[in-house]
């Protein structure tokens, strides 16, 4: 019997030595100490021994069982330590490794100009008004002194959803909404996408971004408008920038002007950017037409106003030297991330 037990212990020792994971250890444990394990079977056989042999054999078997248990536990601890060491090794962070550069997005050039202008005007007491891209014929044209048969509509054709609803051709629609909902003095700006039927080329897009400015108060004059425009041009393109006013026509302003700024590229001397004229077209503006004030129930004998609308795409192109408007809309991240 003793021999048999010694043999078992020997086998347990080698098997445990060779065990490389907990699963194997559990199997060894079951093989010897489980329900029908070798040692368990021997213990169960005790009952058939003579009363004289029983205690002796019992003691030997108990000792053997304790020994096997101790061996299994010992190995379990070794395996636990190994597992922990391996985990620590795997999860080890090398703090000396170079960091991956963080990809920080940049603002779209139009967004940069838009935010800058909003800040510029808000700091002067202007309110920012929200408009809609889907507008009605009334707010886009009628109320702005452009009746249905007016030839000015030809130059501003757009997408019509039905006889009334259309994609707005300018942010000027928001002028009307503001004058309807507020009483003078009014100082407002509004910005967003506008739509016009156009062939796409380097300088034309059927969708672009406008920035609208409106001031209505008593004693507002053309020289106020001119001063505002001069400051605006300097803000956008630098202190040396000068402006030039040309007579123009918009149904909703009278008089109407087209505003040019000295070329940012050559400073006014003449170069390919300004087609040798020394000037670049900046925006359209004028004194609010009395009919427009009347349409908004503002007394034109008491109040006057000026308005201006500029294309943010144009400003972005001039400011950043972008030659093709399509670059603004292609969504090429490599191109767009140059602008900050
Ligand atoms: N709405 C005009 C346009 O789209 C611009 C403009 C705005 C002109 C305000 C005068 C006054 O061209």
Average pLDDT of the residues in 98-122? 93
Average pLDDT of the residues in 311-315? 94
Q: Which atom of ligand 1 is nearest to the CA of 285?
A: 10
- Output the pLDDT for position 154: 85
Residue partners of 230: CB distance under 8 A and separation at least 6:
242, 243
- Ligand 1 probe mutation, 144, 172, 174, 281, most atoms within 8 A of CB: 172
Residue 43 has pLDDT above 90, yes or no: no
Question: Is there an atom of ligand 1 within 6 Å of 184 CB?
Answer: no
- Ligand 1 probe mutation, 145, 250, 257, 314, most atoms within 8 A of CB: 250
Average pLDDT of the residues in 59-78? 90
Tokens, residue 18: 């060779």
Q: What is the pLDDT of residues 207-241, one digit of tens each?
A: 999 999 999 999 999 999 999 999 999 999 999 99
- Output the pLDDT for position 5: 86
Please calculate the CA angle 55-61-66 and round it to the nearest 5 degrees: 125
Q: What's the pLDDT band for 332 if we cut at 50, 70, 90?
A: very high
Average pLDDT of the residues in 46-64? 87
3-state SS of the chain: helix, strand, coil percent to 5? 45, 20, 35
- Ligand 1 probe mutation, 309, 314, 315, most atoms within 8 A of CB: 309
- Output the pLDDT for position 229: 97
Q: What is the pLDDT of residues 170-184, one digit of tens each?
A: 999 999 999 999 999
Distance in Å from the first CA to the final CA of the chain: 89
Q: What is the pLDDT of residues 278-300, one digit of tens each?
A: 999 999 999 999 999 999 999 99
Residue 1 has pLDDT above 80, yes or no: no
- Output the pLDDT for position 116: 97
Average pLDDT of the residues in 77-96? 89
Residue 118 has pLDDT above 90, yes or no: yes
Rounded-to-integer distance, Cα 229 and Cα 244, Å: 10
- Output the pLDDT for position 252: 97
Rounded-to-integer distance, Cα 250 and Cα 299, Å: 21
Of the candidates 262, 200, 232, 237, the one whose C-alpha atom is nearest the C-alpha of residue 316 is: 237
Tokens, residue 101: 């550069």
Q: What's the pLDDT band for 52 if we cut at 50, 70, 90?
A: confident
- Output the pLDDT for position 250: 95
Q: What is the pLDDT of residues 150-204, one digit of tens each?
A: 998 888 899 999 999 999 999 999 999 999 999 999 999 999 999 999 899 988 8
Question: Is there an atom of ligand 1 within 6 Å of 307 CB?
Answer: yes
3-class DSSP state for residue 150?
Answer: coil
Q: What's the pLDDT band for 206 if we cut at 50, 70, 90?
A: very high
Ligand 1 midpoint to CA 246 (Å)? 14
Q: What's the pLDDT band for 104 if we cut at 50, 70, 90?
A: confident
- Output the pLDDT for position 135: 97
Question: Which residue's structure tokens are 């090398």?
Answer: 94
Kindly report the pTM of this predicted structure.
Answer: 0.72
Residue nearest to atom 7 of ligand 1 (CA): 309
Q: Which atom of ligand 1 is nearest to the CA of 172?
A: 1
């Amino acid at each position: 019997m003793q021999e048999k037990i010694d043999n078992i212990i020997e086998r347990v020792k080698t098997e445990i030595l060779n065990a490389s994971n907990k699963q194997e250890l559990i199997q060894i444990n079951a093989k010897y100490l489980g329900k029908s394990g070798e040692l368990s079977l021997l213990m169960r056989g005790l009952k058939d021994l003579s009363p004289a042999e029983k205690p002796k054999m019992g003691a030997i078997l108990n000792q053997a069982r304790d020994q096997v248990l101790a061996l299994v536990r010992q190995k379990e601890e070794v395996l636990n330590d190994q597992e922990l060491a391996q985990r620590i090794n795997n999860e080890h962070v090398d703090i000396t490794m170079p960091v991956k550069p963080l990809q920080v997005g940049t603002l779209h050039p139009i967004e940069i100009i838009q935010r800058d202008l909003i800040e510029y005007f808000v700091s002067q007491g202007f309110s920012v008004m929200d408009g809609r891209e889907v507008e009605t014929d009334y707010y886009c044209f009628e109320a702005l002194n452009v009746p249905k048969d007016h030839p000015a509509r030809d130059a501003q054709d757009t997408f019509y959803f039905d006889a009334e609803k259309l994609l707005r051709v300018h942010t000027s629609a928001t002028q009307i909404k503001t004058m309807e909902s507020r009483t003078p003095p009014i100082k407002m700006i509004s910005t967003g996408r506008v739509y016009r039927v156009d062939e796409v080329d380097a300088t034309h897009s059927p969708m672009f971004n406008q920035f609208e400015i409106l001031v209505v108060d008593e004693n507002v004059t053309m020289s106020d408008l001119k001063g505002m425009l001069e400051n605006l041009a300097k803000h956008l393109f630098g202190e040396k920038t000068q402006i030039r006013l040309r007579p123009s026509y918009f149904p909703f302003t009278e008089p109407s002007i087209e505003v040019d700024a000295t070329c940012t590229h050559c400073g006014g001397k003449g170069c390919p950017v300004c087609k040798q004229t020394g000037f670049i077209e900046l925006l359209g503006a004028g004194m609010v037409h009395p009919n427009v004030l009347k349409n908004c129930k503002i007394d034109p004998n008491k109040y006057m106003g000026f308005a201006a609308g500029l294309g943010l795409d144009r400003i972005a192109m001039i400011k950043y030297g972008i030659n093709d408007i399509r670059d603004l809309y292609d969504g090429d991240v490599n191109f767009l991330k140059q602008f900050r």
